[in-house]
Amino acid sequence: MSPDQETLAWLSLGLIAELTPTGFRKLLAALSTPESICAADRATLARTVSADVAAAIARGPDPERLDAAHRWLEDPANRLVSFADKAYPRLLLEITDPPPLLYVKGNPALLDHASLAVVGSRNGTQQGRSNAEAFSRELSEGGFTIISGLAIGIDAAAHAGGLAASSSSIAVVGTGLDIVYPARNRDLAYRLAGEGALVSEFALGTPALASNFPRRNRLISGLSRGCLVVEAALKSGSLITARFALEQGREVFAIPGSIHSPLSKGCHLLIKQGAKLVESGRDILEELGATVHDQGTTIATHDEVAPDNPLLAALGFDPLDLDTLCRHSGLTPDTASAMLLTLELEGIVSRLPGGRFQRVR
Amino acid sequence: MSPDQETLAWLSLGLIAELTPTGFRKLLAALSTPESICAADRATLARTVSADVAAAIARGPDPERLDAAHRWLEDPANRLVSFADKAYPRLLLEITDPPPLLYVKGNPALLDHASLAVVGSRNGTQQGRSNAEAFSRELSEGGFTIISGLAIGIDAAAHAGGLAASSSSIAVVGTGLDIVYPARNRDLAYRLAGEGALVSEFALGTPALASNFPRRNRLISGLSRGCLVVEAALKSGSLITARFALEQGREVFAIPGSIHSPLSKGCHLLIKQGAKLVESGRDILEELGATVHDQGTTIATHDEVAPDNPLLAALGFDPLDLDTLCRHSGLTPDTASAMLLTLELEGIVSRLPGGRFQRVR
């Protein structure tokens, strides 16, 4: 089955390297549809984009690449998702620079599922990879699809954790979707194509270019409700993703580690700048959980408050000072002070200004 | 030399176990001086404190303990510092429950020096002890006297670090100052008496009672400008000290660690609750440093901005969008995007709403 005219127009325009997402969006605003952009002459196009870009569009894409793109689209696992498509992820429309066209392999419905980015260093430690997998598994089980970048190290562990539980995983890649990069993750990419999804904004045939990876990172955060950084050096792609997440108004989470580990320094910097320190997937679910499904457990389980504690009996639920408490309970000031501190630490008693105490539960 | 009447009165009242700091302060407010409290009859005292406390004051202290206290005071290293004393530390007057009387061994002038509490677990790890010593040394060199609790583990390492640099260290202990607890830290206590100070609010002869240690912790934080928690379990004395610090309006700092280390869980809890994550003494000095002496170095040293970067040349200091930047610089969108991200990460370029960029330095 050959693609319809609209799909053909999206495919063609996606292959024009000179056309930035911004230029593409401006042309869509000016000329309404991709077909009318393809049909427009240079002079019309040059009213909206530069002469060079107008010329490139008028020339059209390389016929061989266009043919290859047609063949790619014949595989039922593959799909184009454009601005005009109901399957286009809503969260991505909120970002500054949304790509007009996404190439998707796998399950496109996952794109609009509640998602979390889990990212980190290619050189992650064994503990870091283990943390990435454990957090991702817990988050996937808790209702969040895990989004990462298909890199080796932390990314691969995050995908594995997401795939292992109920909400699966999406890889957002920096190459054309007909290329698997890095080759070491070929098996993982096949699993994602079958049970999750792979997504790219880059035209089919786009090789692994260093310059495309930071740009790709804005989609990892843009598709996600929040971004967890597992292990990251001070100047790293993961921090770029976290910065995008902040700009896009997403929550940023970071796992702490030893102050002597270079791969914790990025996480510590983020925490200093306001990211939430997290020790488990549960910490993240609690932060975002109210809008997902109820986890069915309370946030903290307290031991039952000792019913025959003489100090609590004397205190009741009204504020009292230490001297009065001692008179009421018959305890010495030292014993009462120590008991109050224990109760305070357990969240049963609160210390008020002026040296008074109040039972709070 | 026998003590004067006022000192004798402070000493006597300090030995009345039934008299709480609050009761003591109320009596001072009612009767002005410690001599007049000692001279008052039970009925007068009972107008301000309970009948039991009034009776205990009227009975007076145990003569043997009073004699021992006189002898202790004959040692020129020892000193009483009362509310009425100019040497009484000003910061301590800000707390809810300041002790009317402090026993001091060593240099009383240190009590009013800019100080930081450095506390942590008795079971601290080797790395934790090493961190405690390194942070304390850096903070002491930076102008802060290190205050801790003379316990084994993190406390002892903190004192050692403070003593090793220019601003020395103070131990606030939970026993009478004629007792060294724990005995294992006897050598450290002698060093503190000679080069720093030891402080207690507990009467001479007070043994090591578990109930006194939490109460002692409010003085560790109360004497300090901030409180650093090095390693602490979730329910621990260090968290009590940190909670006192927060109540007293002091900054709380915590060193992060592995999420799998029980001794980092207390620090992580504090950070989640708003404590500042710190990776070096410098982080703390920068936070508090403006009011201490200038460290003579800038907070961050930036590499000089590359003067011949073609993108920066095209960007100037006005906001521009990517298309315009590409036109001006002759760079491809991909190359320009990658360079912008690098510059953004280096803090040279800022991303503005609407996809524009601005050079910020």
Burial class (CB in 10 A: 0-12, 13-18, 19+), A274: exposed
Whether residue B214 lies within 8 A of chain A, CB to CB, comes out as: yes
Which residue among A255, A265, A345 sits closest to B235, beta carbon to beta carbon? Answer: A345
Residue B5 phi, psi dihedral angles, 5° rounding: -60, -40
pLDDT value of position B293: 45
Best residue in B18, B20, B125, B248 to probe A by mutation, most A CBs within 10 Å?
B20
Query: Is the Cβ of B350 closer than 8 Å to some Cβ of chain A?
Result: no
DSSP single-letter state for residue B209: -
Is A338's CB within 8 Å of B255's CB? no
Which pLDDT value is given to residue B307?
Answer: 53
pLDDT in tens, A189-216: 999 999 999 999 999 999 999 889 988 9
What mean pLDDT value characterizes chain A?
Answer: 89
Q: Do B49 and A323 touch (CB under 8 A)?
A: yes
Chain A: residue whose CA lies nearest to B49: A323
A324: nearest CA partner in chain B: B50
CA A279 to mean position of chain CA atoms:
17
Name residues whose C-beta falls within 8 Å of residue B7's C-beta, 6 or more positions apart in sequence.
B73, B80
Interfacial A residues in 37-56 facing B (CB < 8 Å): 49-50, 53
Calculate Rg over the CA atoms of chain A.
Answer: 27
Answer whether B322's CB lies under 8 Å from B357's CB. Answer: yes
pLDDT in tens, A71-126: 999 999 999 999 889 999 999 999 988 999 999 999 999 999 999 999 999 999 98
> Is the ipTM of this structure higher than 0.85?
no
User: A157 at the B interface (CB within 8 A)?
Assistant: no
Contact A312, A343 (CB under 8 A): yes
d(CA A231, CA A266): 7
Short-list A68, A4, A88, CA closest to A206: A68
User: Which residue did the predictor score with more confidence, B61 or B298?
Assistant: B61
Give the DSSP H or E segment for B200: strand B197-200
| Cross-chain residue pair B256–A260, CB shorter than 8 Å | no
Exposure of A75 in the CB half-sphere (CA atoms within 13 A): 14
Number of CB pairs, chain A paired with chain B, less than 8 A apart: 137
Spatial separation of the C-alpha atoms in residues A229 and A278, rounded to whole Å: 10
* B343/B305 Cα distance (integer angstroms): 9
Q: Is B36 exposed, middle or buried (0-12, 13-18, 19+ CB in 10 A)?
A: middle
The answer to whether A97 faces chain B, any CB pair under 8 Å, is yes
Task: Please tell me if residue A210 touches chain B, with a CB cutoff of 8 Å.
Answer: yes
CA angle A111, B356, A116 (to 5 degrees): 25
CA terminus-to-terminus distance, chain A: 68
**Spatial distance between the Cα atoms of B219 and B198, rounded to a whole number of angstroms:** 12
Residue with tokens 């040296």: A355
Of B206, B340, B331, which is closest to residue A52 (Cα–Cα)? B331
pLDDT digits (tens, 9 = 90+) for A8-64: 999 999 999 999 999 999 999 999 999 999 999 999 999 999 999 999 999 999 999
The residue among B124, B158, B109, B112 whose CA lies nearest residue B138 is B158
User: What pTM, to 2 d.p., does this model score?
Assistant: 0.79
